[in-house]
């Protein structure tokens, strides 16, 4: 993977590109992560497909664009990224918050997609409770108490039975929270609060879809996942039986197998 900055429209974007492969996959990380979260997963996909990872604006070292980063705004940045790289179509894989961005991308730029993969993510908008929790997180960060997020969020992403085995990954994610700029966290939380319901869009867009979900996800329960899966019969579904919210780390081989099977079936 070759790291570089490129201009995606007016935005300085930090990306990595394997450069080789007939088909292209763009991996979008989740909240409080960066593109480095994919480092051990990418080799399971290359050289079969070209893989691009990106620091979502507001996280990593990509540019912060303003006080609120809507999912739609970031989707347009990603379109500009594809244009800059000369990529006509890709399969977009969004983990958690990255899934919200991939949904916005599909809503606005479906013609650029060969496939859409939601990885531990949901087409549902935030509930009122979730919005209130995000506002509390914004208040914490503004009050200089970001360490409270670092103490809870990274470990909670993993199934309880995997936390000891994967402690080094959890420690890396804790460090990522500490180095993520406060303004970027606030901007992306604000954007997630504004998300819209994307279920009808998914049913009508005509883009191939795959949902990859963890059986032990503490953020998206099996019941909640089954509810939106039932609303989207057009989507393929793969369950990671021993994973929480971080299936590409907890069960990387099974996750990669599901993803490659989806891509190669086209």
The CATH number fitting domain 2-264, selected from 1.10.1040.10, 3.90.1280.10, 3.40.50.620, 3.40.50.1820: 3.40.50.1820
> What pLDDT score does 47 carry?
87
List, for residues 72-97, the tens digit of each pLDDT value: 999 999 999 999 999 999 999 999 99
> What pLDDT score does 4 carry?
94
| Cα dihedral sign, 176-182-185-189 | positive
Express as a percent the part of the chain with pLDDT over 70: 100
pLDDT at 266 over 70: no
Count CA within 13 A, CB hemisphere, residue 209.
Answer: 24
Q: Which residue has the higher pLDDT, 12 or 150?
A: 12
Three-state helix/strand/coil letters over the chain: CEEEEEEECCEEEEEEECCCCCCEEEEECCCCCCHHHHCCCHHHCCCCCEEEEECCCCCCCCCCCCCCCCHHHHHHHHHHHHHHHCCCCEEEEEECHHHHHHHHHHHHHHHHEEEEEEECCCCCCCCHHHHHHHHHHHHHHHCCCCHHHHHHHHHHCCCHHHCCCCHHHHHHHHHHHHHCCHHHHHHHHHHHHCCCCCHHHHHHHCCCEEEEEECCCCCCCHHHHHHHHHCCCCCEEEEECCCCCCHHHHCHHHHHHHHHHHHHCC
List, for residues 238-251, the tens digit of each pLDDT value: 999 999 999 999 99
Average pLDDT over residues 100-121: 98
pLDDT at 265 over 90: no
pTM of the model: 0.96
Q: In what order do the strands lie in the sheet with 113-119?
A: 2-8, 11-17, 50-54, 24-28, 90-95, 113-119, 209-214, 236-240
Lowest mean pLDDT among 17-21, 41-45, 208-212: 17-21
d(CA 37, CA 255): 15
Q: Where are the domains of the chain?
A: 2-264
Residue 152: pLDDT band (50, 70, 90) is confident
> Average pLDDT of the chain?
96
For the chain, how far is it from start to end, CA to CA, in angstroms? 25
């Amino acid at each position: 993977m070759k790291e570089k900055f490129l201009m995606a429209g007016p935005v300085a974007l930090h990306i990595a590109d394997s450069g080789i492969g007939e088909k292209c996959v763009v991996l979008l990380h989740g909240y409080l992560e960066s593109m480095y979260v994919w480092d051990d997963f990418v080799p399971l996909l290359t050289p079969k497909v070209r893989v691009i990872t990106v620091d979502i604006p507001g996280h990593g070292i990509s540019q912060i664009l303003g006080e609120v980063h809507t999912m739609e705004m970031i989707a347009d940045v990603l379109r500009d990224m594809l244009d800059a790289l000369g990529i006509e179509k890709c399969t977009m894989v969004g983990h958690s918050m990255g899934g919200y961005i991939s949904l916005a991308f599909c809503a606005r730029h479906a013609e650029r997609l060969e496939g859409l993969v939601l990885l531990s993510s949901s087409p549902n908008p935030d509930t009122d409770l979730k919005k209130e929790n995000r506002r509390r997180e914004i208040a914490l960060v503004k009050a200089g108490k970001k360490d409270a997020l670092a103490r809870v969020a990274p470990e909670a992403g993993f199934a309880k039975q995997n936390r000891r085995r994967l402690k080094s990954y959890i420690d890396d994610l804790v460090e990522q929270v500490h180095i993520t700029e406060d303004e970027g966290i606030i901007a992306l939380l604000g954007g997630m609060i504004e998300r819209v319901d994307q279920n009808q869009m998914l049913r009508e867009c005509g883009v191939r879809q795959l949902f990859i979900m963890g059986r032990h996800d503490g953020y998206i329960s099996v019941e909640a996942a089954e509810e939106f899966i039932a609303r989207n019969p057009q989507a393929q579904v793969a369950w990671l039986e021993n994973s929480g919210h971080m299936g590409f780390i907890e069960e990387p081989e099974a996750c990669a197998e599901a993803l490659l099977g989806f891509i190669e079936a086209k």
